[in-house]
Amino acid sequence: MQPPVLYDNHNRPITYLRLAVTDRCNLRCFYCMPEHGIQYLPKKELLSYEEMLRLAALLARMGISKVRITGGEPFMRRDLMPFLERLSQTEGIRKITLTTNGVLTTPHVPALAKSGIDSVNLSIDSLDRARFARIARRDELPRVMETLHSLLQHGIRTKLNAVVMDGQNTEDIVLLAAFARDHAVDVRFIEEMPFNGKGANTPVLVWHHRKILATLQEAFPNIEKIPDEPFSTSMNYRIPGFQGNIGIIAAFSRTFCGTCNRIRITAQGMLKTCLYDDGVLNVRNLLRQYPHDDAPVEAALRRAFSQRPKDGFEAERNRSNHLPVRESMSTIGG
């Protein structure tokens, strides 16, 4: 049977759910979370695993086929692995991926490999211990590296994600890219977005995608553009002789909205049809209001998908409070 196809009002297929399973984190990356004063959500405000599974099954029936587990740090939530196992049995979900900071991940890598996970994105903003500790506000690079090596040993497809920040880790652009020469990993550089819980760190974005590319071109003059996969958010490159590819994600410049196929469910069950909106539907309340009837939930989801902003700039203008983004990526689910 042909899988169902879900389109938004701009004729973009919606196939990809990013599901934040927690708002908690064991790091305090300064571009994502404030150091102090974080109010974690009370447990009853989070979606339960049962609610997530019900929602995933409903969305799969509507046309979603890929789910990325994110957070917060997914491994801060207890019993993540049994949940992944059950999610992988959901009819229609053909691809499951995970984004993790790697601090608590090593012991779970064998089970991840067994679960048939499609790929893991490991966030690593610096290969230098002092710089890493300054950015993440925790001295955890050794445990992250242990996870990285374990993922590679277990043959799990791995991508490294690094946010590029002015004055913090720009030396790491070349160091991290070189990692893809020596190891079978893709490395992606992400423009910093103002999702740190308090608004933009700098008034203008200094390290935009063109500057990141120029830095790579200077260090690796034979770097060449390769075709991007459909719906890719990254602009992709290869460097001859390298095992992995290099990607640049213009997350702030928003170059990829025209082919955006993704939606987000935050840890408290808000639907975001764009990263830059402020939550367009409280799915958690609907799931709880109609515990045995998916029809009203599906109708509300379809309504939201038919009113999707055309790009992240429109989504930002539509925010109900009209204020600049002050959310933390840890609650949105990056």
Give the residues lining the site for ligand SF4 (CB under 6 A): 25, 27-29, 32-33, 71-73, 101, 123, 329-330
Cβ closer to ligand SAM: 273 or 330? 330
Q: Kindly state the smallest distance separating residue 293's Cβ from ligand SF4, in Å.
A: 34
8 Å CB contact between 70 and 333: yes
Q: Kindly state the smallest distance separating residue 35's Cβ from ligand SF4, in Å.
A: 10
Query: Binding segment for ligand SAM among 83-91, 264-272, 292-300, 326-334 (CB under 6 A)?
Result: 326-334
Give the contact letters, 6-25, x = binds to ligand SAM (CB under 6 A), - = no. -------------------x
Radius of gyration from C-alpha coordinates of the chain: 19
C-alpha torsion sign, points 76, 231, 165, 157: positive
Q: Kindly state the smallest distance separating residue 262's Cβ from ligand SF4, in Å.
A: 18
Q: Is 268 in the site for ligand SAM (CB under 6 A)?
A: no
Cβ closer to ligand SAM: 8 or 192? 192
Residues 6+ apart with CB under 8 A from 20: 70, 71, 72, 264, 265, 266, 267, 331, 332, 333
Residues 6+ apart with CB under 8 A from 43: none
Residue 39, burial from CB neighbour count under 10 angstroms (0-12, 13-18, 19+):
exposed
Residue 189 binding target from ligand SF4, ligand SAM, none, CB below 5 to 8 Å by type = none
Residue selected from 15, 22, 97, 101 as contacting ligand SAM according to rule CB under 6 A: 101
Q: How many CB atoms lie within 10 A of CB 303?
A: 11
Q: Is 244 in the site for ligand SAM (CB under 6 A)?
A: no
Q: Kindly state the smallest distance separating residue 26's Cβ from ligand SAM, in Å.
A: 9
Residue closest to ligand SAM, measured at CB: 334
Cβ closer to ligand SF4: 6 or 136? 136
Residues 6+ apart with CB under 8 A from 181: 239, 241, 242, 243
Q: Kindly state the smallest distance separating residue 155's Cβ from ligand SF4, in Å.
A: 24
8 Å CB contact between 262 and 52: no
| Footprint on residues 61-90 left by ligand SAM (CB under 6 A) | 70-71, 73
Q: Kindly state the smallest distance separating residue 137's Cβ from ligand SF4, in Å.
A: 8
Which secondary structure element, helix H or strand E, spans residue 67, and what is its range?
A: strand 66-70
CA distances from 71 to 65, 100, 238, 279 (A): 20, 8, 30, 16
φ/ψ bin of 197: left (φ > 0), alpha (ψ from -120 to 50), beta (otherwise): left
Q: Kindly state the smallest distance separating residue 298's Cβ from ligand SAM, in Å.
A: 28
- Using CB under 6 A, list all residues that contact ligand SAM: 25, 31-32, 70-71, 73, 99-101, 123, 161, 163, 190, 192-193, 195-196, 251, 329-330, 334
